[in-house]
Amino acid sequence: MKNRLKVLRAERDWSQADLAERLEVSRQTINALETGKYDPSLPLAFRIARLFGQPIEAIFDGGQA
């Protein structure tokens, strides 16, 4: 799934490790999310949305239903 995680992180000048710490996940997880190789669970997606203050659909592109 495509997402804007890398852009949002870069806007805040955070490293992957910074974001990982804020979300309480590993840096490898952040890397997998940013490259679209891993889709987050619903709770993690909500945590990401809350952290960036944006709705989930503004961060993740779920594609056509």
Partner 1 sequence: MGLPTLFLAATGLGLLAGGVAVVAAAFGLAPVAITKAVAVLVAGLAGLVLTGRWWKRADEAVREAHKSSWYWGGSTGLLVAGSIAVALASVAFGGGGDQFGLSPAEAGLVVFGVAMTVALMLLGYGLFWAIWWLRRGR
Instruction: List residues near partner 1 by CB under 8 A.
Output: 24-26, 28-29, 32-33, 38, 40-41, 44
Residue 11 vs 28, nearer CB to partner 1: 28
Shortest Å distance, C-beta 59 to partner 1: 17
> What are the distances in angstroms from CA 62 to CA 3, 15, 39, 56?
9, 25, 10, 10
> What are the distances in angstroms from CA 6 to CA 9, 10, 22, 45, 64?
5, 6, 15, 14, 22
Shortest Å distance, C-beta 40 to partner 1: 7
Residue 8 vs 33, nearer CB to partner 1: 33
